[in-house]
Amino acid sequence: MHVTIKHVAKKAGVSPSTVSRVIADSPKISVATKKRVFETMKEMNYQPNIIARSLANRVTYTLGLILPSKDEEVFENPFFMQVMRGLSVYAKQKGYYIMYNYCRSEEEEVETIRHYMDSKWVDGIILTSTRIKDKSVDLLMKRDQPFVVIGRPEAQRDKVLWVDNDNVMAMENIVNRLIEQGHRKIAYIGGEQQFTVYRHRLRGYRQAIEQNGIDWDDRLVVEAEPTEQKAYEAMKQMLKIINPDAIVGTDDTVAYGAYKATIEAGVLGVAFAGFNNTPLSIYNNPTISTVDINAEKLGHYAAQVLIDQLEKNTTMERNIIVEANYIERESTLDYVRR
């Protein structure tokens, strides 16, 4: 069925002329009525191109969230769920909705963002990651679309709203602590260097190794897709060449994948550490030391700085660094000795 303004008006409980005024962003229509009508339009998928092109200044009270992952991976990784909870709670308090989309590649991400902007269904966009040369950031800046990044862009940081941890320092703290415990052959398993978060964490690892006078060993560094399975496969290959005495993963699931490979290979006495403070790090036996990056706070502040920009509130900072806390738990070495 072709949806018309009359259909939208009937379902929203208003007159067709009210729907037209809402579309035109008339100041005579209340905020509550606008929200109800826009929600109905979304439900009924009412977005004729002629209207979409004419509504450059329309307010929808909706934020578009880009998740750079397959849908099943999003629900397997607690980081995204925690970020989404922080975003949703704050957005709801301010009267905004969240529209989210999964993107399996950078090209799909750019296309989704372009659709968000062209359809005029969102007021601002939230990116949950950033690349070194990020096409999504470039497009958003070119189109002058309000957006925020969870992560720290490499270029034009002063012009971009972003929320992040100090990932260099967080990784440096982990490696320094492992060195204090007597570990010297510390392996690093992280994500691809096209993402700034993994580049920063590798930088922290390198700084800690060099500052402690330990010779750099390429055999102990692996950059791969940051999943449990890829970490497991990478660790199996590493163990054919060298046995580390400690392993740091850029995510708890990565650390756990490496842990499974070492146990399967019969390599004991290895300490493990990861990031994100997921239930996996707590309930694994032995437990895994981890960095709590306060993902829910990252989501909360991302929504806050973006909504502040949309509502022309200039008192909020444009860039926020959220504290990351190292949580030290029993090491595999302690576990094996008992």
| Same domain, residue pair 311 and 288 | no
Is there a domain that residue 328 lies in?
no
Q: Is the pLDDT of residue 237 over 90?
A: yes
Is there a domain that residue 235 lies in?
yes
| Same domain, residue pair 46 and 120 | no
Percent of the chain beyond pLDDT 70?
A: 88
Show the tokens assigned to 76: 């397997």
Alpha carbon distance 305, 320 (integer Å): 9
| Same domain, residue pair 124 and 197 | no
Q: What is the pLDDT of residues 275-309, one digit of tens each?
A: 998 877 666 666 789 999 999 999 999 999 999 99
Question: What pLDDT sits at residue 338?
Answer: 32
Question: What pLDDT sits at residue 80?
Answer: 87
| Same domain, residue pair 224 and 309 | no
Q: What CATH number should be reported for the domain holding residue 13?
A: 1.10.260.40
Are the beta carbons of 13 and 2 closer than 8 angstroms? no
Q: Which residues pair with 63 in a beta bridge?
A: 98, 124
Q: Which whole number is the average pLDDT over 125-129?
A: 95
Q: Is the pLDDT of residue 73 over 80?
A: no
192 — pLDDT class (breaks 50, 70, 90): confident
Alpha carbon distance 51, 197 (integer Å): 39
Fill in the amino acid letter for 42: K
| Same domain, residue pair 266 and 160 | no
Is there a domain that residue 334 lies in?
no
Is there a domain that residue 15 lies in?
yes
In this predicted structure, which of 28-37, 138-147, 201-210, 215-224 has the lowest mean pLDDT? 28-37
Is there a domain that residue 338 lies in?
no
Alpha carbon distance 260, 271 (integer Å): 13
Question: What pLDDT sits at residue 332?
Answer: 41
Average pLDDT score over the chain: 87
The residue range of the domain holding 34 is 5-54
| Same domain, residue pair 156 and 92 | yes
| Same domain, residue pair 156 and 184 | no
| Same domain, residue pair 122 and 47 | no
Q: How many domains does the chain have?
A: 3
In this predicted structure, which of 72-76, 144-148, 159-163, 177-181 has the lowest mean pLDDT? 72-76
